[in-house]
């Protein structure tokens, strides 16, 4: 007996749901890894192109291109239940190199 609820098949077993979740996870992970590989390849190409441009710039007396680093960070405060992890004050303290403790 298959029960339909708003077009969804609710007769799936937990095993079916887990298998479907595994399939979705594997596909998402494969896509993530492919994108990561593309980013690495692009960063390598960018570095080579920056080197080429800087050689030309040197010959023409132009300023060199500085490399830009892409950084990401997450600030997490522990022991401060009323604090907002990404509040402006927290971010300002982190940028100033001060500790996160109050």
Question: 12 pLDDT band (50/70/90 cuts)?
Answer: confident
In angstroms, the CA 76 to CA 61 distance is: 46
Residue with tokens 């907002």: 84
Query: What does the pLDDT look like over 40-60, one tens digit per residue?
Result: 999 999 999 999 999 999 999
**Structure confidence at residue 45 (pLDDT):** 96
* Contact assessment for residue 75 and residue 85, using Cβ atoms and an 8 Å cutoff: yes
* Contact assessment for residue 89 and residue 101, using Cβ atoms and an 8 Å cutoff: no
Query: What does the pLDDT look like over 75-96, one tens digit per residue?
Result: 666 665 555 556 677 777 777 7
Question: 1 pLDDT band (50/70/90 cuts)?
Answer: very low
Q: Which residues contact 59 (CB under 8 A, 6 or more apart)?
A: none
In angstroms, the CA 71 to CA 66 distance is: 15
């Amino acid at each position: 007996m298959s029960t339909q609820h708003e077009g969804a098949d609710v007769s799936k077993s937990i095993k079916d749901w887990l298998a479907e979740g595994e399939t979705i996870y594997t596909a998402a992970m494969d896509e993530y890894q492919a994108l990561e590989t593309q980013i690495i390849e692009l960063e390598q190409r960018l570095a080579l192109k920056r080197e080429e441009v800087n050689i030309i710039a040197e010959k023409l007396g132009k300023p060199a291109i500085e490399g830009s680093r892409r950084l990401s960070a997450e600030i997490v405060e522990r022991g401060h239940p009323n604090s907002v992890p990404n509040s402006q004050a927290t971010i300002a303290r982190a940028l100033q190199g001060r500790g996160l403790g109050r």
